[in-house]
Amino acid sequence: MTLRRFLALNLLFTTLLFSGCATADPNTQSRTAMLGEIKQEPLGNYYIGRRYYKVDYKFWGYIRKPGESWANAKMVMLNEQGKLAPDRELGKIGSDNGYEYKLYGDFHRRDRLRAREQWLLS
């Protein structure tokens, strides 16, 4: 009888000990700060674009409207007939990986962004 009580108490103690070991997400604070900054962006007729470059990928990156989360961003290809993308204009393809841009333009067929004559680096 005492062995059963000992094992039951040991099991109960172990369960209580390990149930208190919750792992906190280390990115929670930075994500919260980023979402706060996004919410404070001035609204306007532009997009926020983040360049994402990999050698075998055939798209430019992701864009979102000001004030919206990156979770709502769209993957885009740029129509470079009127204006080259910044890295191609400099002749250094992929050098702007991870940069964020303020993009002015309109969506056309298949959600391609037709850029206007200027790019603004945020």
At 67, which CATH number?
Answer: 2.40.50
Confidence of residue 48 (pLDDT cuts 50, 70, 90): very high
Does the residue 62 lie in any domain? yes
Contact 102, 120 (CB under 8 A): yes
For range 80-106, the mean pLDDT = 87
Does the residue 17 lie in any domain? no
Most confident of 5-19, 68-82, 83-97, 99-113: 83-97
Question: Domain span at residue 63?
Answer: 42-122
Confidence of residue 64 (pLDDT cuts 50, 70, 90): very high
What does the mean pLDDT of the chain come to? 79
How many domains does one find in the chain?
A: 1
Amino acid at 35: L
Helix (H, G, I), strand (E, B) or coil at 61: strand
Using a pLDDT cut of 70, give the percent of the chain over it.
80
Give all strands of the β-sheet with 112-115 in edge-to-edge order. Answer: 78-79, 112-115, 105-108
Does the residue 113 lie in any domain? yes
Does the residue 75 lie in any domain? yes
For range 15-19, the mean pLDDT = 67
